[in-house]
Structure 1
Amino acid sequence: MNLHDVRRQLRDNLETVRARIAAAARRAGRLPDEIRLVVVTKYVGESVIRELLALGVRDLGENRVQQLVKRVELLGAAAAGLHESSPQSAAPRWHMIGHLQRNKVRKLLPHVRIIHSLDSTRLAQEVQQRAADHGVLVDALIEVNVSGEASKQGISPSDAPRLAQFVRGCDHLRLRGLMTMAPLSDSPEAARRPVAALRDLLAQL
């Protein structure tokens, strides 16, 4: 597949996904602009990422610290997302979407400002300390294991309020919401149940 075909396929896929997001938002009584699309790039090369940026994608996700840092370095200093950019800028905002170990936080910051997998007070303390060292504010989602599956990462629903309270007391860490992984299933209802439970938990925090 040549570059022209890749660009066309990416454009078509993005249009399809954005249309589905807009339709889902309308059904839920929300505005499509309230939904942020994060494109996960762990299986593609840097040339595809550059094409995504050219198509207006700004939020990119990686699940491994080493890979994320490598991509930031290859795409240039602006790719760290350390500065607010104009709509025309190609600088992406990097999201850490995978499980994060405390000993990897030093390497991760300040390359990201959004962590989707905060799951313990000890990890929150480490992020707070490293963010303070760099003088940055890090957004975070608390990862909650709503389904209780042993194969899933995340804090238990009963422990989430305590972690949320701790994060709210940090001056370099900002709680932006909750995250969970739905069970792998062909049934949409199987995915809706844990998301609904997560929504109820968020309302209690």
Structure 2
Amino acid sequence: MESISSNLAAVREQIAEACRKAGRSVDEVTLIAVSKTKSAAAVRKAWEAGQREFGESYVQEFLEKCEAPELSGLPVSWHFIGHLQSNKVRQIVDKVTMVHGIDKVSTAEELSKRAVQHGLNVDFLLEVNVSREGTKYGLGPDSVLQAAEECFALPNVRLRGLMTIASPDPDTARREFSELRETLDMIRNNAPEPAALSELSMGMSGDFEEAILEGATMIRIGTAIFGWR
């Protein structure tokens, strides 16, 4: 069995190759190691191999991992990438670098409320259901522009961009990644701070190369690093 360290090295080389094909700098793409369902010890191994950004999807598991002795004292940068319910926001607001899965303005409002209470400024992304699948979370592509407009006025939070989970077919996924990029461009046109809208969180173990070709700035990789769950 390959180690987490060697898996990370292989993924980073694939990222570098995809960036070369896209004519982009590798520094433009942040690798988020998706550690959901994996142990704190596995996160520690990835950390020791140089990984700093990690993604979690389940609130209770995330909270337990934050307090795990294996990670004590390590300045891990946590991204919450799963569907986030409004009533769970208060539990994670002071522990995350960024929230990726905001799919309702009401959840962004709750994030803002809790950030104000903690005296924090929290970055977040709006999740968009570009595949238009009924089983997926996310704002519809036609409603995200209005949602973004409402989010711009919220205090102590900053909309940084968009996130999506694409269709399993790579060719279809690439078209969806392109649509997400175009949607972000449209949002920038009406944004009070267009430069702040710099993030496209898209691409996972099976399609991150296509995502990089279409402008991904954050890719979320779990299986290719930690193995099957």
TM bucket, shorter chain? 0.7 to 0.9
Of 147-156 and 161-170, more deviation after overlay is shown by: 161-170
Q: State which structure, 1 or 2, has the greater radius of gyration over its C-alpha atoms.
A: 1
Tell me what 1:190 maps to: 172
SS at match of 2:45: helix
**8 Å contact from structure 2 (residues 84, 101) kept in 1:** yes
Q: 1:78 deviation in Å? A: 6.1
* Equivalent of residue 122 in structure 1, options 106, 126, 149: 106
Map 1:17-96; keep pairs closer than 5 Å. Answer: 17-75=11-69, 90-96=74-80
Per the TM alignment, residue 123 of structure 1 is displaced from its structure 2 partner at its CA by: 0.5
Is 1:158 equivalent to 2:152 in the alignment?
Answer: no
Question: What SS does structure 2 have at the residue aligned with 1:192?
Answer: helix
> Where do 5+ consecutive residues of structure 1 fail to align?
80-89
User: 2:40, 2:71 within 8 Å by CA — same for their partners in 1?
Assistant: no
TM-score, normalised via structure 2 length: 0.77
User: Greater relative contact order: 1 or 2 (C-alpha under 8 angstroms, separation 6 or more)?
Assistant: 2
Contact 2:44 2:70 in 1 (8 A): no
Q: Distance in 1 between matches of 2:98 and 2:185?
A: 21
CA distance in structure 1 between the aligned counterparts of 2:24 and 2:165, rounded to whole angstroms: 22
CA distance in 2, matches of 1:183, 1:26: 24
Q: Quick one: distance in 2 between partners of 1:32 and 1:61?
A: 20
Partner residue in 2 for 1:16: 10
Q: Deviations over 1:12-53 (max 9, x none)?
A: 111110011111112112110110000011132111111111
Equivalent residue number for residue 103 of structure 1:
87
C-alpha distance in 1, partners of 2:105/2:5?
A: 41
Distance (Å, rounded) in 1 between the aligned partners of 2:155 and 2:18: 35
Give the superposition deviation at 1:75: 4.3
Contact 1:62 1:94 in 2 (8 A): yes
Aligned counterparts of 2:69 and 2:57: Cα–Cα separation in 1:
17
- Name the structure 2 match of 1:147: 131
Could you list the per-position Cα deviations for residues 124-154 of structure 1 after superposition, in whole angstroms to 9, with x for gaps in the alignment?
1000000111111111111001111001100
How far residue 101 of structure 1 moved from its aligned partner, in angstroms, is 0.3
Q: 8 Å contact 1:113–1:137 — kept in the other structure?
A: no
Farther off after superposition, 44-53 or 31-40: 44-53
Question: Following the alignment from structure 1 to structure 2, what is the Cα–Cα distance between the partners of residues 157 and 169?
Answer: 21
Q: TM-score normalised to the size of structure 1?
A: 0.86
In the other structure, the counterpart of 1:135 is 119
Q: Contact conserved, 2:129 with 2:138, CA < 8 A, in 1?
A: yes
CA–CA distance in structure 2, aligned partners of residues 161 and 145 of structure 1: 13
Deviations 1:146-170 (A, max 9, x none): 1110011001111111111222222
Alpha-carbon RMSD: 1.6
Aligned residue-pair number? 187
